[in-house]
Amino acid sequence: MNLDSKFVWMNGALVPQEKAVVPFLTPALHYGTAVFEGMRAYNTSKGSAIFRLKEHITRLFASARIFGFLALPWTEEEVIEGSKAVVRENGFTECYVRPLLFAASGHMGLNLLGIVPGLGIAAWEWKGFVSPEAETAGLRANVSSFTRHHPNVMMTKSKLAGNYGNSVLARTESARLGFDEALMLDPTGLVAEGTGENLFAVRKGVLYTPHRATVLEGLTRDSVITIARDLGYEVREEALTRDQLYVADELFVCGTAAEVLGIRELDFRPIGTGVRGPVTTRLAEAFRRAATGQEPRYADWLDHCNK
Ligand code: PMP
């Protein structure tokens, strides 16, 4: 992964990347007290555009509010414009965009009172989130031995940096076991989500996805539900169990980085025919067309970065 870029937006202005640094005694570095977003800019016929930018920035501010960062000195509009400027001024056509709002200074206590927030927005060209083979054939996944957060322990609706220790535990274990991704169960044992993606199962042509109670309300999830319903599929948000996953015709995960990725094997059991299924393929293609501006009905999901 190449993280190079020319500029990072820091607290309201673009600065050269080498100047976008934080001191060692930054509270967020010690306690995970930061909230962030992950967005993607796609190349469209009208130049690069950030997919669902407004909703991502609304979720960033929601994450901040949930965690308890109050009275922030930036507006959503400023962060939206800053995100577009980062893509534009770095000259990227397709890239990943990362706003991060963090406990920058004030004190090193476990208390947000008196903390001074900082906000940076970086972008990098994130190519090949998975190998081309995994993209077309599907991933091999395991159900993690680690449980997803209880929502009254870590606030699963907030993209809090500290929450991601849980995902890192699961993803690292999964990689060491030789899998591509881990799926996580919630504290009651029901299926929750992937380490950085939401999950769907397809059975007899109907799409099932866990309800929103314990998972992040993914914007790709929301886009996939809209696209699937527009294509005539029935989509049900309901509780899913681990064994229901084993007997699904198709499984896929979706998220900003992953887009729509089939799961061909779970816990050594082939899913469906053991390759990415037709519904997943259709939705993955429709999602990409929407994200790259080739579907006029979803044009308002794109925010163009040109001035
Ligand atoms: N769940 C988790 C835990 C995530 O980190 C992400 C990535 N943001 C998602 C789901 C998918 O969300 P989105 O589609 O908005 O990227």
The ligand 1 atom at the shortest distance from the C-alpha of residue 223 is 14
What distance in angstroms lies between residue 185's CA and the mean position of ligand 1's atoms? 15
Answer whether residue 307 shows pLDDT above 80.
no
Confidence bin at 97 (pLDDT 50/70/90): very high
Residues touching ligand 1 (Cβ under 6 Å) are 38, 193, 196-198, 216, 218-221, 255-256
Mean pLDDT score, 196-210:
98
- Which protein residue's CA is at the shortest distance from atom 4 of ligand 1? 196
Q: What is the pTM of this model?
A: 0.97
Q: What is the pLDDT of residues 122-134, one digit of tens each?
A: 999 988 778 888 8
Q: What is the pLDDT of residues 135-179, one digit of tens each?
A: 899 999 999 999 999 989 998 999 999 999 999 999 999 999 999
What distance in angstroms lies between residue 198's CA and the mean position of ligand 1's atoms? 6
The ligand 1 atom at the shortest distance from the C-alpha of residue 255 is 14
Q: In the beta sheet, which residues pair with residue 139?
A: 263
- Which protein residue's CA is at the shortest distance from atom 6 of ligand 1? 196
The CA distance from 271 to 58, in Å, is 36
The CA distance from 74 to 82, in Å, is 11
The ligand 1 atom at the shortest distance from the C-alpha of residue 56 is 15
- Which protein residue's CA is at the shortest distance from atom 10 of ligand 1? 197
- 220, 221, 252, 253, best to mutate for ligand 1 pocket (most atoms within 8 Å of CB): 220
At 1 the pLDDT is 79
Burial class (CB in 10 A: 0-12, 13-18, 19+), 42: middle
The CA distance from 251 to 276, in Å, is 8
At 128 the pLDDT is 74
Burial class (CB in 10 A: 0-12, 13-18, 19+), 223: buried
Do residues 70 and 85 touch, judged by C-beta distance below 8 A?
Answer: no
Mean pLDDT score, 81-107:
97
3-state secondary structure the chain: CCCCCCEEEECCEEEEHHHCCCCCCCHHHHHCCEEECCEEEEEECCEEEEECHHHHHHHHHHHHHHHCCCCCCCCHHHHHHHHHHHHHHHCCCCEEEEEEEEEEECCCCCCCCCCEEEEEEEEECCCCCCCHHHHHHCEEEEECCCCCCCHHHHCCCCCEHHHHHHHHHHHHHHHHCCCCEEEEECCCCCEEEECCCEEEEEECCEEEECCHHHCCCCHHHHHHHHHHHHCCCCEEECCCCHHHHHCCCEEEEEECCCEEEEEEEECCEECCCCCCCHHHHHHHHHHHHHHCCCCHHHHHHEEECCC
**Catalytic residue positions, numbered:** 159
The CA distance from 146 to 143, in Å, is 9
Q: In the beta sheet, which residues pair with residue 193?
A: 184
What distance in angstroms lies between residue 197's CA and the mean position of ligand 1's atoms? 5
What distance in angstroms lies between residue 84's CA and the mean position of ligand 1's atoms? 21
Backbone φ and ψ of 143, nearest 5°: -85, 125
At 129 the pLDDT is 77
Residue 103 has, within 13 A of its CA and on its CB side, a CA count of: 26
At 217 the pLDDT is 96
Mean pLDDT score, 58-77:
96
The ligand 1 atom at the shortest distance from the C-alpha of residue 163 is 3
